[in-house]
Amino acid sequence: MNHKGIALGIVAAASVMSCIHRPPTDLTMENLIPKPVLVVATAKVFELTDESGVFIADDSPELQFVGEYLAERLRPATGFEVNVASTKVAPKAGSIFLSLSDDAELGDEGYEIDITDNLINIKANKPAGLFWAVQTMRQLLPPKVERNTIQSGPWEISTGTIRDFPSYPFRGSMLDVARHFFSVADVKRYVDLISLYKMNVLHLHLSDDQGWRIEIKSWPNLTKHGGSTQVGGGKGGYYTQEEYKELVKYAQDRYITIIPEIDMPGHSNAALASYPELNCDGKATALYTGTEVGFSSLCTTSEITYKFIDDVVREMSAITPGPYLHIGGDESDATKREHYIPFVARVRDIVKSHGKQVIGWEETAQINMNEKRPEDGINVDAAAKAAAASSIAQFWKNPVHAHEAVNNGSKLVMSPATKMYLDMQYDSTTKLGLHWAAYIEVDSAYMWSPVTFVEGITRENILGIEAPLWSETVTNMDEIEYMIFPRIIGLAEIGWSPEEGRSWDEYKIRLGNHGPRMEAQGIDYYKSAQVPWVE
């Protein structure tokens, strides 16, 4: 072999070597989702080793939880001990250091990660910011870090700085546990899955025609009878208040607020079947296991109905530390409009009297009716307008309702069915799901803006976004994962990241790099042909 041949041989060997192990050196090339506000690279490498520890700046339970959460994510795949300890001084080289700072731009949920070749420094104003930083940290390590068994290293991270904070304070998903019931373990996994992408709200749709899923001690037949079945006639189920509290705590530890929804006056057959007195004719309905909507209504003209609602709202408020209670209010086609409007006004007052802020589906924004409230002669328009102003309306379909909400002075949560409904089929071949709103391929779920979606609605009117998963066709965790992933990843980015410069062509590359990450976590995702999945 001549010199040239030897030289080529060395180059070839080096490039084979580099395939086996090429350290990451450009932090800006990481495929982070949601995309951070700012990433600056300094072209060196930090290595996590069996000497590395997690240090927290104080002993508060919140910092301990976040520190331990981070360590727990690192231990199984690295096999390292990853001790968590508090320190008042600069921690030893090779460590990750979590501390609270005072940095106005970062707000309540933002964070900064500074990575040098011997230390990772994570700062935030609040523990929530540190928690979201930890979710970013996971994405800076190879996907195999997500596996439950020991993987080979090295565990390297490119150096530089990430500064990041959310666009919207409300970034959520809804899980319908009424049409099909899902276990406490399933809901915990759902919490873990949405927290990966920095969502901070889980809306639980707890009651509907097909099932009542939360124990109400003063009305026990709601769950005993009303929770006994589901779509298709399966056995249904419900959460005891203790189980619900456990879910709330689990979510809270992950900086996720649970919003419970009791849907009324429509979508209420499970309650109507459980208590005859909630029906205007005094007769209990039969349990329902089909998928029609719009046929049921609580008896809005009877006092017992408001006693019932007061009891339910009192019990729910007592076990819900979050600020919101969702009253449903959608598709009440079996309730006359002149009954619906005063009903919603009265329910708002009940919810407020128990210290909670009302969220309702967009229909609840309709308050314009020249009618006196029967019991006190107050003009519904004036009283209802005041109550509506402090309520939140969840847009899903009708721009007229979105404008009504804004005119009332309400903020909007955006859940446009044609973009965000995770029960919509990807295309006509998708085995699960519906398509009444649209087929929503992965690009379509990503290519839209909450700010321009409804003409005349502006950024200031919008509190945030929420991606609902209705469960008429979805029966287990694998199916949940298939419908929500990967669309929910792009929706989470719409909620968190700055909109400027957003492009599907750029995003789909990043998303493709999350395939191995989802696989490592056992997520059953839809492998859309639109995405260049990395093997």
The residues carrying an active-site annotation are 331
Q: Which is nearer to ligand TNX, 121 or 394 (CB)?
A: 394
Among 478, 480, 416, CA closest to 447: 416
Helical H segments across 79-158, by residue range: 127-140
Of 437, 362, 367, 369, the residue nearest 400 (C-alpha): 362
Closest CB 175 distance from ligand TNX, rounded Å: 12
For residues 423 and 466, which CB has a smaller minimum distance to ligand TNX in the complex?
A: 423
Q: How far apart are CA 373 and CA 367, in angstroms?
A: 12
Nearest to residue 404, comparing CAs of 415, 394, 418? 394
Of 472 and 479, CB closest to ligand TNX: 472
134 or 440: CB nearest ligand TNX: 440
Tokens found for residue 328: 């449903």
Distance in angstroms between the alpha carbons of the first and the last residue of the chain: 37
Any alpha helices (H) in 50-203, and if so which ranges? 61-78, 127-140, 184-196
Q: How far is the CB of 268 from ligand TNX (least distance, A)?
A: 12
The C-alpha R_g of the chain, in whole angstroms, comes to 25
Q: Which of 238, 206, 241, 243 is nearest to 225 (CA)?
A: 238
CB of 394 to ligand TNX, least distance (A): 8
Rounded to a whole number of angstroms, the minimum distance from the CB of residue 226 to ligand TNX is 17
| Distance from C-alpha of 351 to C-alpha of 349, rounded to nearest angstrom | 5
Alpha helices in 118-240 (DSSP H): 127-140, 184-196, 221-224
Contact partners, residue 458, CB within 8 Å, separation at least 6: 451
SS3 call for 424: strand
Taking the C-alpha atoms of residue 503 and residue 446, their distance in angstroms, rounded to an integer, is 9
Q: How far is the CB of 59 from ligand TNX (least distance, A)?
A: 45
Q: How far apart are CA 27 and CA 157, in angstroms?
A: 8
We find the least distance from the C-beta atom of residue 446 to ligand TNX, in angstroms, to be 20
Question: Least CB distance from residue 239 to ligand TNX, whole Å?
Answer: 20
Question: Within the chain, how many helices (H) and strands (E) appear?
Answer: 17, 17
233 exposed, middle or buried (CB, 10 Å; 0-12, 13-18, 19+)? exposed
Rounded-to-integer distance, Cα 180 and Cα 188, Å: 16
- List interacting residues with ligand TNX (CB under 6 A): 293, 330-331, 361, 396, 421, 423, 434, 470, 472
Q: In this complex, which beta carbon is closest to ligand TNX, that of residue 215 or of residue 331?
A: 331
Q: Which CB, 1 or 436, lies closer to ligand TNX?
A: 436
Kindly tell me which of 203 and 254 has the beta carbon lying closer to ligand TNX. 203
The 10 Å Cβ neighbour count of residue 479 is 18
Give the Cα separation of 315 and 207 in Å (integer): 15
Whole-number minimum distance, CB 43 to ligand TNX, in Å? 49
- Between 184 and 434, name the residue whose CB sits nearer to ligand TNX: 434
Report in angstroms how near the CB of residue 361 gets to ligand TNX at its nearest.
Answer: 4
For residues 309 and 318, what is the distance between their CA atoms, to the nearest angstrom?
14
Cross-strand bridge partners of residue 260 = 204
d(CA 24, CA 44): 8
Nearer of residues 52 and 210 to ligand TNX, judged by Cβ: 210
Q: Which of 315, 320, 187 is nearest to 245 (CA)?
A: 320
The rounded distance, in Å, linking the Cα atoms of 405 and 1 is 80
